[in-house]
Amino acid sequence: MDSKPAAALRKRQQIGRANRTMFIAIAGVSVVVGFSVVLIIFLAQRIWFGQRVIAEKNHTVSVLQKNLDTVDALKDNIRVLNTNEDLQSVQLNPDDPAIQTVLDALPSEANSTAMASSLQTKLLSGVPGVTIESLSVDTVDSTDGAFDDALSSSSMDSNTIGFSFAVSTPATNQDGLRKVLLQIEKSIRPFNITNLSVESQGPRIVMTATGVSYYEPAQTVQLTDKVVKP
């Protein structure tokens, strides 16, 4: 009679051991599968990141190759410009290459002092009967674009230099004022006169003008590092 309960107890114990074994096996498989999924995701991310790095490197190589391909054409264009008769005819220094005229016309720095000197000694003088009454050129710091707002017209652009001047001539010498404007017009450095007035003051005529000139900061070409984040 006692053999049946004992047999039932043994069966329950065997079922319990089987269940524990099954649970351990399932848990082990779950750990392996979970680890495998994490590993696959990690490897996929590393592969995707590697592809991004390779793509950036290929882009850099492509840009450098295009730049190298244009070097010879650029040299040829410079040689052609150095033989340009129009540029040679307005050279400030005959010993400089003709292309220097382009740099003189649009300097890389504001250099307000040189501009004021040019206006005073070359563009506004040399005309018989014409006298410079006043001359003002804004002080510009071309390193950071800051400048003195002496003239409202200088705020038109960050790479402009404001100026103003007044010249006078006897009333019988009106053509002298026209010659002054022609000298400014023929300057290789561009001058944009925004306001001009001519006033008769007894025996003389006074011409007052305000405007701006321009400069273009030099471009810096250099290699930089780009961080590609995963």
Tens digit of pLDDT for each residue in 95-118? 878 877 777 778 888 888 888 988
Per-domain residue ranges of the chain: 1-81, 101-214
Number of H helices and E strands in the chain, helices first, is: 5, 6
The pTM for the full model equals 0.58
Q: What is the pLDDT of residue 107?
A: 84
Decide which of 67 and 93 is more confident: 67
Return d(Cα 139, Cα 56) in angstroms, integer: 44
8 Å CB contact between 185 and 215: no
In tens, the pLDDT along 13-34 reads 777 777 777 778 787 778 888 8
pLDDT in tens, 105-159: 788 888 888 889 889 998 999 899 999 999 999 987 655 444 344 333 433 457 8
Average pLDDT in the chain = 81
Q: ∠17-23-26 over CA atoms, to 5°?
A: 140
Mention the CATH class of domain 101-214.
alpha beta
Side chain identity at residue 225, one-letter code? D
Residue 221 burial by Cβ neighbours in a 10 Å radius (0-12, 13-18, 19+): exposed
